[in-house]
Amino acid sequence: MSAVPNAWRDFATLGTATARTGLAARLDARALVLGTFAFILTVVSFDRYAVAGLLPLLAFPLLMAALADIDLRWVLRKVLLAAPFALMVGLFNPWFDQRVMLELAGVPITGGWVSLLAIVLRVVLTVAAAVVLVASVGLPQLCVALERLGLPRALATQLLLLQRYAVVLGGEAARMRLAHALRAGPKGRLTLSVYASLVGHLLLRATGRGQRIHQAMLARGFNGRLPTAPALPWRWVDSVFLLGCVAAFLLMRLAEPVPWLGQTLLKGMM
Amino acid sequence: MHMADALLSPTVGLGMWVASGVALGWSSRRVQRDERSHLVALMGVLGAFVFAAMMINFTIPGTGSSGHLGGGLLLAILLGPPAALIVMASVLAVQALLFADGGILALGANLFNLGVCTCLLAYPLIYRPLLARLGPHPSDRQLTAVIILTAVLGLQLGALGVVLQTWASGISSLPLRTFLWLMLPIHLAIGLMEGVATAALVLFIRRARSDLLPDLSPANEKAAGVAASFPKGVVVFLSAGALITAGALSWFASQNPDGLEWSIKRASGLPELAAGTSRPHELARHIQAQTAAFPDYAPLAAQAPAPESAQLATPGWPAVDGGTSTAGIVGSVVTLSLVSLLGWGLHWRRQRRRQP
């Protein structure tokens, strides 16, 4: 029907597919989290007109996806679905920023178009990095890693519970919507009173279910902490990975490899 | 509307992380001290409910468009502000991580705009006092009005947050005033719809299971007391935090020549304003000149005679030079081809390994 059920299926698989494959599975989730965060900080620290500087950074999500054995087409689909807001705001740049920045074969290119291109690149880079991180680690392990990095325990537990319940309740909401659509006919609208009743019943069933499950968890010895897979110790591979990432990002940020590459090539041709 | 990583500068992004982190730390301490043991179970399931409820839209009569639940205000009414903020944090984190809505760096800003503004500002400062004034048994109409008002004002605060963060980051060229004119009316409509949905739902719950609403059920005096005894200190603390954040943001914003200043310059036709004299500004320019990937462009204002910043402008903003920009473009094309080749190669390798 729409993109929502598709995203929902991804959501369900991402939560449950804890078996990590690929070389990324040998790394500590904390190293991946910190590396991704350093990457995103590097991306957003570039100047607003930086297009050339951002290009080599595209290699990071590509390599991470390869390390974690993730289909690139899936990542691309996620990126395309994401961030209409950033693009919408970015589309105003050519309108408001009309200084000519460079000329390409005689065609003047304004700062607005360059910064719009930079925003598109930022969207691709940041979204791809986040998507690849979650797909390579999985939400349960990600929560453990975040808690070990200082996330409050109440929030870590909340995230894990939310993910478990969301799969169930999301399915229920999708079935309710489908049931209403099937009964209401082609022009059937969901009026406010029907909406309140539908969603209200969903809420009542959800709280009832939550309380029953909580009772069952207490009966089995729940002490405010969900059992998770034992976390591995930090090893030297993780340090090497993280330091390598940071060094590469610093190099990309400070050394400007792209204009240098262009200059070298031009000199070679002349 | 969710703030995106692509529109944030690192200082604004990290600043909002700190602001939201403080609010989150305070909330999680409050929740861990809370004696209502079923709160944890209720929080998990209500977070999931907010998600699920966003999949069901109601039709707005006469417009053909549809609206859905926002979440923050409903959670605050059902759980109280601290627990509601934690649930909002988890919802936004899952949206950022699994649905790529928002982003990792933007999470702090989003939690501030959608969580703190509604749960820790609009709910205790608008909803609670108005409800207290109405007495223990407000009519359906009164309750609806209060909820809609709170939802609208909370979302307006959030939209203001989005505008200020985007403006302070300086990635977008939208002038502040234009952006405000775009965002606030849109969010007035969205807030109205969210308020209507929340009110309809709260009225339904009040008829079906009023014990779920601590504010509105006389049987639940103790829980109501917990919600009512929202400390005044928090409000003071949050206001102070907001002021400090705003001050820090405007300081950074003044270092970064942004869309607003540029548009003022263009509109007024004045040469460079006398902003380039302060020390941090000079430093920022120097760093920017050292690190900019397109160092070879010059704002028109800098090319115009500007006696005060002439020495500064010469090394920092050289005039357009065809040679270096060609090098930049050639380098970009080559880099893009290399990266594409890398992606294609990795994809091909994966496909080949998949086939037995």
Inter-residue contact B136 to B228 (CB < 8 Å): no
CA–CA dist B314, B320 (Å, integer): 12
For residue B213, give both structure tokens: 């609403």
Inter-residue contact B280 to B255 (CB < 8 Å): yes
* Environment class of A110 (CB within 10 Å of its CB; exposed 0-12, middle 13-18, buried 19+): middle
Nearest residue on chain B to A146, alpha-carbon basis: B93
Question: What is the structure's pLDDT at B101?
Answer: 75
CA–CA dist B326, A47 (Å, integer): 19
Question: What is the structure's pLDDT at B143?
Answer: 92
Are the beta carbons of B47 and A173 separated by less than 8 Å? no
The 3-state secondary structure of B78-131, one letter per residue = HHCHHHHHHHHHHHHHHHHHHCCCCCCCCHHHHHHHHHHHHHHHHHHHHHHHHH
Inter-residue contact B85 to B29 (CB < 8 Å): no
Interface test with B, best of A75, A79, A143, A199 (most B CBs within 10 A): A199
Are the beta carbons of B296 and A203 separated by less than 8 Å? no
> What one-character-per-residue DSSP string does A36-85 give?
HHHHHHHHHHS-TT-STTTGGGGHHHHHHHHHTT--HHHHHHHHHHS-HH
Are the beta carbons of B297 and A101 separated by less than 8 Å? yes
Are the beta carbons of B99 and A7 separated by less than 8 Å? yes
* Contacts of residue B38, Cβ cutoff 8 Å, sequence gap at least 6: A211, A214
For residue B196, give both structure tokens: 């209507």
CA–CA dist B325, B320 (Å, integer): 8
Angular region, A134: left φ>0, alpha ψ -120 to 50, beta rest: alpha
Helix A153-184 to helix A192-219 angle (10° resolution) is 140
Question: What is the structure's pLDDT at B237?
Answer: 62
Are the beta carbons of B204 and A177 separated by less than 8 Å? no
Question: What is the structure's pLDDT at A14?
Answer: 60
Are the beta carbons of B45 and A43 separated by less than 8 Å? no
How many contacts, defined by CB atoms under 8 Å, are there between A and B? 382
- Of residues B33 and A240, more confidence is placed in A240
Q: What are phi and psi for residue B60, nearest 5 degrees?
A: -90, 120
Q: What are phi and psi for residue B209, nearest 5 degrees?
A: -145, 75
Q: What is the dihedral of CA A179, A184, A185, A190, to 10 degrees?
A: -100
Are the beta carbons of B48 and A114 separated by less than 8 Å? no
Helix B176-208 to helix B72-79 angle (10° resolution) is 40
Tell me which residue of B171, B343, B37, B160 sits closest to A61, measured CA to CA.
B343
Q: How many helices (H) and strands (E) does chain A have?
A: 12, 2
Inter-residue contact B87 to B101 (CB < 8 Å): no
CA–CA dist B249, B200 (Å, integer): 38
Looking at the predicted structure, is the pLDDT value of residue B281 above 50? no
pLDDT band at B76 (very low <50, low <70, confident <90, very high): very high
Question: What is the structure's pLDDT at B100?
Answer: 72
Question: What is the structure's pLDDT at A153?
Answer: 82
* Environment class of B349 (CB within 10 Å of its CB; exposed 0-12, middle 13-18, buried 19+): exposed
Q: Which residues pair with A102 in a beta bridge?
A: A109
Helix A139-148 to helix A3-16 angle (10° resolution) is 60
Looking at the predicted structure, is the pLDDT value of residue B260 above 50? no
CA distance A230 to chain B (A): 23
Lowest mean pLDDT among A206-210, B187-191, B308-312: B308-312
What beta strand segments (E) does chain B contain? 58-59, 66-67
Lowest mean pLDDT among A190-199, B156-165, B245-254: B245-254
- Of residues A30 and B286, more confidence is placed in A30
Question: What is the structure's pLDDT at B346?
Answer: 80
Tell me which residue of A212, A246, A198, A201 sits closest to A31, measured CA to CA.
A246
Residues from chain A that touch B202, judged by Cβ atoms under 8 A, are: none
Q: Which of A85, A102, A207 sits opposite B4 (nearest CB)?
A: A85
Question: What is the structure's pLDDT at B242?
Answer: 61
* Environment class of A25 (CB within 10 Å of its CB; exposed 0-12, middle 13-18, buried 19+): middle
* CB neighbourhood size of B222 (10 A): 10
Question: What is the structure's pLDDT at A269?
Answer: 76
Looking at the predicted structure, is the pLDDT value of residue B189 above 70? yes
Q: Which of B45, B46, B320 sits opposite A102 (nearest CB)?
A: B320
CA–CA dist B274, B266 (Å, integer): 15
In chain B, what percentage of residues exceed pLDDT 70? 66
Residues from chain A that touch B300, judged by Cβ atoms under 8 A, are: 99
Inter-residue contact A155 to B86 (CB < 8 Å): yes
Sketch the domain layout of chain A as residue ranges. Answer: 19-137+233-270
Angstrom CA distances, B155 to A14, A238, B122, B127, stand at: 31, 42, 9, 13
Interface test with B, best of A44, A55, A215, A253 (most B CBs within 10 A): A44
CA–CA dist B105, B17 (Å, integer): 8
Question: What is the structure's pLDDT at B144?
Answer: 93
Residues from chain A that touch B57, judged by Cβ atoms under 8 A, are: 190, 195
Interface test with B, best of A2, A43, A159 (most B CBs within 10 A): A159
CA–CA dist A258, A53 (Å, integer): 6
pLDDT band at B275 (very low <50, low <70, confident <90, very high): very low
Are the beta carbons of B53 and A173 separated by less than 8 Å? yes
Q: In the predicted model, what is the mean pLDDT of residues B220-226?
A: 45
pLDDT < 70 stretches in chain A: 1-22, 83, 229, 231
Q: Which of B6, B174, B290 sits opposite A122 (nearest CB)?
A: B6
Q: Which of B89, B171, B297 sits opposite A102 (nearest CB)?
A: B297
* Environment class of B353 (CB within 10 Å of its CB; exposed 0-12, middle 13-18, buried 19+): exposed
* CB neighbourhood size of A153 (10 A): 12
Q: In the predicted model, what is the mean pLDDT of residues B153-181?
A: 86
CA–CA dist B156, B186 (Å, integer): 10
Looking at the predicted structure, is the pLDDT value of residue B16 above 50? yes
Question: What is the structure's pLDDT at A204?
Answer: 92
Residue B335 contacts A, CB cutoff 8 Å: yes
Q: In the predicted model, what is the mean pLDDT of residues B165-188?
A: 84
Question: What is the structure's pLDDT at B271?
Answer: 38
Are the beta carbons of A50 and B294 separated by less than 8 Å? yes
Q: Which of B25, B300, B335 sits opposite A56 (nearest CB)?
A: B335
